[in-house]
Structure 1
Amino acid sequence: MSLKQLTITNLKISAGMSVFSKVLGMLTSVVLARLLLPSDFGIITIVYIFLGAMNLFTELGFGSAVIHRKEKIEEALGTSFTINLIISVFLFFIIFFAAPYLASFYDEPVITNVLRVLGIGIIFSAFQFVPSVYFRKNLQFGKTAIPAFVSGLTNTIVAIILAYSGFGVWSLVYGSLASTFVNVVMLLIMCPCKPKLTFDMDIGKELFVFGKYLFAANIIIFINLHIDDAIGGKLLGITALGYYYLAYRWGTFAERIIGITEKVMFPTYAKIQDDLPKMRKGYLGVLKYVSIMTFPISIGLFAIAPEFVTVVLGEKWVPSIIPMQILCFFGLFSTIASTTGSVFTAAGKPKFVRDISSLMTVLIIVLIYPMSIYYGIIGLSLTVTIGAILSAIIASYYLLKVLDLDFLQYISAIKYSIVASSIALIATVAIKYALKNWYYVSNINSLIVLFSTFSIVYMAVLYLTDKKTVFDLVRMTRLGFR
């Protein structure tokens, strides 16, 4: 199988896996939103922030460094795993002893035990490093599909059963922990390359030299993604953070579905890093198909957010409507910006990722406090969205230089998605205003009509303006099910 065919196959597998897992996750969040309180989601958000910060130190960018290597791969995997495991155990003890202080800072005593229990997952996760990197290195993304499917299903079943049984925030805790454990065990069973406690000082230095920029970038990106939660939870309270959490989760739905393409494209770009025309052509293809999926999800949810929240999530989540609409644009621009990271890394310029993320961090730090104080969770949403727009603009500017790409070529890749989404939005808003004059139309019927209007108009306009792409998508979808 050629690299192009393998990449397309991996994209289909990864896209299918990602769509399934994200849809499953969203369906789970719908059920849990009706069973749990906003404060439960606020508590778990704070815990995940702290755990995420600890997780940054377990890999140090070694995963991408191993994928980028062309020799002594097994030795590099062994060295990376050894460092990863040692750091993970050390971090668990930090988590255990730091938990009471975090609970005191947010004035939520339950955070102590929640953080300590979920901290066990960091040690579990160390054992999935080797199989996950091995499969990505060898472009065997199908090997991760079954573990992802089973672990996602495990999380759903455990969390919903416990929520129905009245476990509250602990339903989220045990669901997450069970999911991590299942995923690790299945990956270890399926991977022919097992984790080994070996260490090579020279290889370790090489991995660190390559990975240090990605590690720095990941820290900055993490701050960008979670500083709103951390500060919002302190300034506005855990309940307000729960409303923001759900708004963010749905508003960035497109980003989390499409984000899987980065894991596929980086190893692909790495194999053709010396062939600029191929990288340029490959990137434009990815950008085109990503925009076709991202624009309708983000713009469509923006159009129907009020009806969606009241009908699907429930009336208690009404404070999340406006933040969700704002965050739809965060998801849209973040997705576009995220397509550039794998190009920069494969081209040997990971520092671009760090620098772009740093600018976004500075902007967020400057704006987040006053915006939160004066506008609450709406201010939080506006702050991160402005940062995402700026990041997308700067990332695109550097991308044009790295790939020697013409601006018109870049715009040409997304123009049909922009046109189709804009026309669909206008049609949906027009129908929404028309429905307001029909007092007997229920919220659920309005949601169905508006969703159908946007979907039909988007697909119709896309078909009329870019038939070839529509036929290509249909053909790839059919092949994906064979």
Structure 2
Amino acid sequence: VWALVIAYIIESLVGTVGSYFVHPFRPRFDFDPACWRRLFRFAKFIFIQGIVIYFISKGDDIVVGKMLGVQALGFYTLAYMIVNIFSSLGGIIWEVTFPAYSKVQDDKSELEANYLRTLRGALFLTLPATGLLFCLAPEIVEVVYGPKWLPVVVPMRIFCFLGGFVALTSSTDPVFLGIGRPDISLKISLCESISIGVLIFPLIKYLGIPGVALAVTLAGLFNAGLQIYFLKGILPGIGKGILKNLAPPLASVSGMVLVVGAMRWFWDGLRSLGMLVGIFLLGFIVYLACYYGFEGRKMLSRGQKG
């Protein structure tokens, strides 16, 4: 444990010292009461939301461990890794888009254009990955982890839908922060935590681990719906833009899932890592072909304008 603590301290020290060599900016202490008040009004919502998100991310683990035992918690944790993969992508999107949205917060048309570009890229990457994981979950678990981990398959497939919602939420949440409304993000997180609390106990009682995954996924869907609702209050015409950007990758993923599903049915026995990688690559090729069929002309026109 101490090795991890020391590693984090060294990482922070190296990053801090290294920043002085790569950038000429030198911070200095300047007490400005008005500035401190503005920062506090903004930061208090971020701080409280961080606590709420911690309980959202850890509360389900606690419930599974207490009610179903350590073995079930192991299965659930492995299944939840799907969400963590896409949450990492969401963290990158957040870091990049938050300052970009802040710069154009007073220009609604530019803010909407930046948001839709971000959403388009996030959906383009996330939806095919979730589609392939959903189709090939049994083969992935058996080849990578072994047959004893097959109980993970059902909750993993449920979490694939939650992974798809991450593309939307990771693109939308920075908008609220960028325009100086962190209170909206906090309200949405509180609603999500309450919905998990309401759903998780009856669903875990009747469905076990899949019930917990379903509760968390439904809460994620509720989160996404609330984000769109509040976003429409800021950008009134954004609903049509979201649908236009969602339709091509969703239709392309549907085509990819049909092809990959048919291959699994005809080619029974994807029991090697090489075959699994091959069908993954084939799935992405089918997805790209379908996507180009839907968006080819628009992509070419955007490239010519750029």
Q: TM-score range by the shorter chain?
A: 0.7 to 0.9
1:375 partnered with 2:207:
yes
Q: Which of 200, 221, 243 matches 2:53?
A: 221
Deviation at 1:274, TM superposition (A): 1.2
1:188 partnered with 2:20:
no
| Partner deviation per Cα, 1:93-143 (whole Å, 9 max, x = no partner) | xxxxxxxxxxxxxxxxxxxxx5xx4xxxxxxxxxxxxxxxxxxxxxxxxxx
Q: Which residue does the alignment assign to 2:86?
A: 254
Inter-CA distance 271–445: structure 2 relative to 1 (3 Å threshold): closer
Q: Distance in 2 between matches of 1:357 and 1:338?
A: 13
Say which SS state the counterpart of residue 196 (structure 2) adopts: helix
Say which SS state the counterpart of residue 259 (structure 1) adopts: helix
Deviation at 1:309, TM superposition (A): 1.0
**Correspondence list, 1:319-398, <5 A:** 319-398=151-230
Inter-CA distance 314–196: structure 2 relative to 1 (3 Å threshold): farther
Contact 1:420 1:461 in 2 (8 A): yes
Deviation at 1:468, TM superposition (A): 5.6
Q: Distance in 2 between matches of 1:366 and 1:378?
A: 16
Deviation at 1:178, TM superposition (A): 6.0
Inter-CA distance 431–220: structure 2 relative to 1 (3 Å threshold): same
One-letter amino acid matched to 2:189: S
Deviation at 1:256, TM superposition (A): 1.8
Contact 1:255 1:332 in 2 (8 A): no
Q: Distance in 2 between matches of 1:325 and 1:249?
A: 12
One-letter amino acid matched to 2:178: A
Q: Which of 288, 291, 295 matches 1:459?
A: 288
Deviation at 1:300, TM superposition (A): 1.3
Pairwise CA RMSD: 2.7
One-letter amino acid matched to 2:86: A
Q: Which residue does the alignment assign to 1:287?
A: 119
1:450 partnered with 2:279:
yes
**Correspondence list, 1:51-70, <5 A:** none
| Partner deviation per Cα, 1:361-381 (whole Å, 9 max, x = no partner) | 111101112222332221111
Q: Which of 264, 270, 273 matches 2:102?
A: 270
1:409 partnered with 2:241:
yes
The higher relative CO (CA closer than 8 Å, separation ≥ 6) is in 2
Say which SS state the counterpart of residue 425 (structure 1) adopts: helix
Q: Distance in 2 between matches of 1:403 and 1:359?
A: 22
TM-score by length of 1: 0.57
Q: Distance in 2 between matches of 1:340 and 1:392?
A: 9
1:305 partnered with 2:137:
yes
| Partner deviation per Cα, 1:168-193 (whole Å, 9 max, x = no partner) | xxxxxx5x546524431331122236
Q: Distance in 2 between matches of 1:258 and 1:205?
A: 30
Identity %: 30
Inter-CA distance 197–408: structure 2 relative to 1 (3 Å threshold): closer
One-letter amino acid matched to 2:215: T
Q: Distance in 1 between matches of 2:132 and 2:7?
A: 31
TM-score by length of 2: 0.88
One-letter amino acid matched to 2:133: L
Contact 2:90 2:171 in 1 (8 A): no
Q: Distance in 1 between matches of 2:302 and 2:64?
A: 41
One-letter amino acid matched to 2:289: A
Say which SS state the counterpart of residue 218 (structure 1) adopts: helix
Q: Distance in 2 between matches of 1:470 and 1:179?
A: 45
Contiguous gaps of at least 5 residues in structure 2: none
One-letter amino acid matched to 1:466: E
Inter-CA distance 370–426: structure 2 relative to 1 (3 Å threshold): same
Inter-CA distance 197–239: structure 2 relative to 1 (3 Å threshold): farther
Inter-CA distance 274–200: structure 2 relative to 1 (3 Å threshold): closer
One-letter amino acid matched to 1:313: Y
**Correspondence list, 1:35-184, <5 A:** 117=2, 174=3, 176-177=4-5, 180-184=8-12
One-letter amino acid matched to 1:405: G
One-letter amino acid matched to 2:85: F
One-letter amino acid matched to 2:40: F
